[in-house]
Amino acid sequence: MCAIVGVYGAEKASTVAYYSLFAMQHRGQEGTGISVANGKSISVYKKLGMVADVFSQDTLNHLEGTCAVGHNRYSTAGKDSKGDVQPVFAKYKLGEISIVHNGNLVNKMEVRNKLIDRGAIFQTDMDTENIIHLIAKSEKDSLVDRIKDMLTKIEGAFCLAIQSRKKMFVIRDRFGIRPLSLGKFKTGGYMVASETCAFDLAGAEFVRDVKPGEMLIFEEGKEPQSEMVYKNVDFHPCAFEYIYFARPDSDIDGKNVYETRLETGRKLAQETPAEVDLVLPVPDSGVAAAKGFADELGVPFEMGIVRNHYVGRTFIEPTQEVRDLKVKMKLSPIKHMIEGKRVAIIDDSLVRGTTSKQIVRMLLDAGAKEVHMRIAAPEIKYPCRYGIDTPTKDELISANNTVEEIRKKIGAASLGFLSIEGLKESLGKERNYSMVSFDGHYFAGGNADSPSCGDS
């Protein structure tokens, strides 16, 4: 998961990066950091915590320079990752370098073990450290050639912003799995960000998406130079960004996230309608899909469950007891709206089944006559190895149960999922989306049984 930002040729680049990371806080809440280059050296500030807590005006003032790269880190369940905050900075033969990375390298352990055999030492568990080592150990003369050399050795999903003292290099992997867009400031200068919602807050205009397999080079006094660094481009943007992960006001590869979610809701209603009096979303993740579902059926849509915004997401908590409690802390029904009604409750995805079970019980306790659960995504049967934090196969409820078995477990009157075909239609058939969680097609390496390499 995670978010990255890169800013070039902007006054107060650290402040621009700060606002961008703030806008992309949903992509990772564990830790955050910014590094700034001023032509002579790079300074880094990074810490565990949320963007607004980690940075103060004073810290940003001390990060002086016109080029900044920044990162928000998503926590991987149960992991002690105090040192795993980015950017990753190093001094090496050609000077100083700082890297931020969103995605997962599927050959992380293989590369790491080879580097360790050759005497490399690692300070963190992050696959991003492989990248910095590969650049430092490359025998090419220039940084750009070292980066290209490094790219021949890593596989998987990655969006990278690499900063030297004077330049910035931005790369999106050849599958274009994770999103990355380019924006421009009115005053000159450019930025790249994982999501376009960052541009709005940072005051940049969207220019275009970074192409899969493209490297952008930012250099003083020049327009960004584009080079295709892969010949075998095989575009597979991540379907889960649209379903769950990205902010609804972001556009990814030319498609608005909210619109796409509305469409999944409409399709869901066509595929598995329900005879109900009321359609409710699981807030906030199911809101757009529920609106689409309700519109399609012509049934009233209500925000019948209230969300307490002051607790974190439930999914990331390690034990089942804590997860159960957190759902209750987070969501609460408006009883008089629900009493005696047949309700459809819509969520964007079902992972372990924790949220759905709790919500069905909550709605029945609030007096609902029938509760019909609908999920605006297909069944998640496989772990993602390309940067979405889905658990092992054993924990995925749909990998181990039929729809009817799940329905019984969550206690709903009926349960329906969007079909894979329905999702493809909602996203548009002009592209092959990455759907590994649903179809197990690991096109970029890795597989369901490989250990999770969800690090960056």
Residue list, annotated binding site for Mg(2+) = 285, 347-348
Q: Give the pair of three-digit tokens for residue 158.
A: 């990655």
Element (H, E) at 295: helix 287-297
- Minimum distance from residue 175 beta carbon to ligand AMP (Å): 19
- Minimum distance from residue 83 beta carbon to ligand AMP (Å): 23
Exactly one of 128, 138, 196, 349 binds ligand AMP (CB under 6 A); that residue is 349
61-83 residues labelled b (16+ CB within 10 A) or e (exposed): eebebbbbbbbbbbbbeeeebee
Q: Which of 2, 67, 238, 453 is catalytic?
A: 2
Cβ proximity to ligand AMP: between 244 and 386 the closer is 244
Q: What secondary structure does DSSP assign to 81-120, as a single string?
A: -TT--S-EEEEETTEEEEEEEEEEETTHHHHHHHHHHTT-
Separation between Cα atoms, residue 105 and residue 98, nearest integer Å: 18
Report helix, strand or coil for 151. helix
**Catalytic residue check, 384:** no
350 interacts with ligand AMP by CB under 6 A: yes
Span from 105-113, 297-305, 346-354, 448-456 in contact with ligand AMP (CB under 6 A): 346-354
Contacts of 197 (CB under 8 A, 6+ apart): 23, 24, 247, 249, 250
- Minimum distance from residue 227 beta carbon to ligand AMP (Å): 33
Separation between Cα atoms, residue 207 and residue 228, nearest integer Å: 18
348 interacts with ligand AMP by CB under 6 A: yes
Exactly one of 209, 379, 389, 455 binds ligand AMP (CB under 6 A); that residue is 389
Separation between Cα atoms, residue 350 and residue 386, nearest integer Å: 19
Residue 351: exposure state from Cβ atoms within 10 A (0-12, 13-18, ≥19): buried
Cβ proximity to ligand AMP: between 2 and 282 the closer is 282
Within 48-77, the residues that bind ligand AMP by CB under 6 A are: none
267 interacts with ligand AMP by CB under 6 A: no
412-444 residues labelled b (16+ CB within 10 A) or e (exposed): bbbbbbbbeebbbbbbeeebebbbbbbeeebeb
354 interacts with ligand AMP by CB under 6 A: yes
Backbone angles phi, psi at 204, to 5 degrees: -110, 155
282 interacts with ligand AMP by CB under 6 A: yes
- Minimum distance from residue 250 beta carbon to ligand AMP (Å): 16
196 interacts with ligand AMP by CB under 6 A: no
* CB-CB contact of 130 with 116 (8 Å): no
Residue 47: exposure state from Cβ atoms within 10 A (0-12, 13-18, ≥19): middle
347 interacts with ligand AMP by CB under 6 A: yes
Pairing, β 67-73 against β 31-37:
antiparallel
Cβ proximity to ligand AMP: between 300 and 353 the closer is 353
155 interacts with ligand AMP by CB under 6 A: no
355 interacts with ligand AMP by CB under 6 A: yes
Exactly one of 76, 285, 398, 456 binds ligand AMP (CB under 6 A); that residue is 285
Cβ proximity to ligand AMP: between 132 and 197 the closer is 197
Report helix, strand or coil for 283. coil
Exactly one of 133, 352, 372, 424 binds ligand AMP (CB under 6 A); that residue is 352
Binding mask 286-325 for ligand AMP (x = CB under 6 A): ---------------------------x-x----------
Span from 13-21, 84-92, 341-349, 398-406 in contact with ligand AMP (CB under 6 A): 341-349
Separation between Cα atoms, residue 285 and residue 261, nearest integer Å: 10
Closest CA to 154 of 117, 110, 120, 119: 110
Exactly one of 37, 144, 268, 351 binds ligand AMP (CB under 6 A); that residue is 351
- Minimum distance from residue 323 beta carbon to ligand AMP (Å): 7
Cβ proximity to ligand AMP: between 159 and 287 the closer is 287
Task: List residues with catalytic annotation.
Answer: 2
Residues lying near ligand AMP in the complex (CB under 6 A) are found at 244, 282, 285, 313, 315, 347-356, 388-390
